[in-house]
Amino acid sequence: MTVVGWWRQAVTTRRMVLWLWAAVALAQSPAGQQGRQFYLGHCAHCHGPDGEGGRGINLTTGQYRLSRTDDDLLRVIQTGVPGTEMPPSRLPVADIRLLVTWVRSLGAAGALEKATGDAAAGALVYRNTGCARCHSIQVNGGQAKGGSLGPPLDSIGLRRSLKFLRDALVTPDAYIAREYVGTTAQTKAGQLFRGLRLNEDDYSLQLRDADERLHSFRKSSLAEYQRLDSSLMPSYGKLSPTDLNNLIAYLSSLRAANK
Ligand code: HEC
Ligand code: HEC
């Protein structure tokens, strides 16, 4: 490394440490503790008591898809994220500011979390294992490539912790987002269908299968239909530990923001 390169790195590291220190100090102040109480009351059931994620995203990366500044965070918490499970909050602005402080401190806690695997090798595992059959990834504003049975993975590294990613690969049944619940349908003629449940009312059921085909049924024509408790995604627990680590490093590197 050149002297200039070394110096830059040293300055960046120092800034990071100072920032972490400031965030931790804030979190320990009375205002920080109050923010924590609000967080535990209003947010933890989705984002986890330590911000590790669940129904809500991981808040410990310190980076957010839609927010950069504290004002952005304030706005997102006030309005929620339309079309997702993130709800608007009716708390007074002053309380939301305390929440922002607490969210920042959660971010500081995990900002240095780093995958041990090799992301480039993981990209190959991703390709060779057929993940793109069900997931799309959009690179550098280009065309998103891949299927849509599972969620797009462009910003998965921002949304999910390393532990969550591992769990998602090894035990996909453990957590299934509401939009990705599967369903099976068997017609009276004996044909069996399996896919994402798109719509259901008293009379009809629509699903999309792994080949992206839409199927619409009148319930009266079905012998049986059932919402699945298990994920449409198979478990990848049988990958070698190296492949699994590399794959997790690759997923963690996917951090597209603002989309
Ligand atoms: C019902 C579950 C749920 C609750 C309750 C919830 N969230 Fe979320 N939150 C989510 C989901 C899901 C997302 C991801 C939305 C998306 O796809 O961008 C999210 C996203 C976020 C983000 C990232 C925003 C960005 O800029 O990308 C922040 C910060 C956040 N939530 C904070 C909070 C706080 C603070 C609370 C409590 C007031 C809260 N959330 C309550 C589910 C929830
Ligand atoms: C047959 C379709 C299918 C295949 C193949 C598949 N997935 Fe999935 N994946 C899904 C579905 C559906 C979900 C949503 C339900 C769930 O969380 O289990 C999902 C969820 C995920 C999640 C969690 C996303 C989140 O935010 O909660 C990750 C990460 C993931 N898949 C990665 C992969 C990787 C990496 C591969 C290849 C090794 C892969 N998937 C192969 C269908 C698939």
DSSP output for the chain? --HHHHHHHHHHHHHHHHHHHHHHHHHHSHHHHHHHHHHHHHTHHHH-TTS--SSSPP-TTS--SS--SHHHHHHHHHH--TTSS-----S-HHHHHHHHHHHHHHHHHHTT----S-HHHHHHHHHHHTGGGT-EE--TTS--EE-SSS---TTHHHHS-HHHHHHHHH-GGG---GGG-EEEEEETT--EEEEEEEEE-SSEEEEE-TTS-EEEEEGGGEEEEEE-SS-SSPP-TTS-HHHHHHHHHHHHH------
Which residues have CB under 6 Å of ligand 2?
A: 126, 129-131, 133-135, 149-151, 156, 159-160, 165, 168-169, 172, 175-177, 180, 210, 231-233, 236, 247, 251
User: What fold, for 119-175+234-253?
Assistant: Cytochrome Bc1 Complex; Chain D, domain 2 (1.10.760)
Ligand nearest to the CA of 153: 2
How much is the pLDDT for 50?
A: 87
Global pTM reads 0.80
Q: Which is more confident, 197 or 27?
A: 197
Q: Is the pLDDT of residue 32 over 80?
A: no
How much is the pLDDT for 230?
A: 93
How much is the pLDDT for 17?
A: 64
How much is the pLDDT for 164?
A: 87
How much is the pLDDT for 111?
A: 61
Q: Is the pLDDT of residue 5 over 70?
A: no
Q: Is the pLDDT of residue 150 over 60?
A: yes
Tell me the C-alpha distance between 6 and 48, whole Å: 38
How much is the pLDDT for 13?
A: 63
Banded model confidence at residue 142, pLDDT cuts 50, 70, 90: confident
Q: Which is more confident, 196 or 179?
A: 196
How much is the pLDDT for 20?
A: 65
Mutate to test the pocket of ligand 1, among 37, 38, 45, 46 (most ligand atoms within 8 A of CB): 46
Q: Tokens standing for 144?
A: 């998103």
Average pLDDT of 177-192?
A: 92
89 lines ligand 1 (CB under 6 A): yes
- Based on the number of CB atoms within 10 Å of its own CB, is 186 exposed (0-12), middle (13-18) or buried (19 or more)? middle
CA distances, 240 to each of 29, 122, 143 (Å): 45, 12, 31
Query: Does 182-227 carry CATH code 3.40.50.970?
Result: no
Report the chain's mean pLDDT, rounded to a whole number.
88
Which atom from ligand 1 is nearest to the alpha carbon of 66? Answer: 26
Average pLDDT of 200-226?
A: 94
Query: Does 3-110 carry CATH code 2.40.30.110?
Result: no
Ligand nearest to the CA of 151: 2
CA distances, 1 to each of 5, 6, 183, 239 (Å): 6, 6, 55, 36
How much is the pLDDT for 184?
A: 95
Banded model confidence at residue 161, pLDDT cuts 50, 70, 90: confident
Which atom from ligand 1 is nearest to the alpha carbon of 102? Answer: 35
The percentage of residues in the chain with a pLDDT greater than 90, rounded to a whole number, is 60
Banded model confidence at residue 135, pLDDT cuts 50, 70, 90: very high
- List residues bridging with 41 in a β-sheet: none
CA of 224 relative to ligand 2 center, distance in Å: 26
Mutate to test the pocket of ligand 2, among 212, 233, 246 (most ligand atoms within 8 A of CB): 233
Name, in order, each residue with C-beta under 8 angstroms of 190's C-beta and a sequence gap of 6 or more: 223
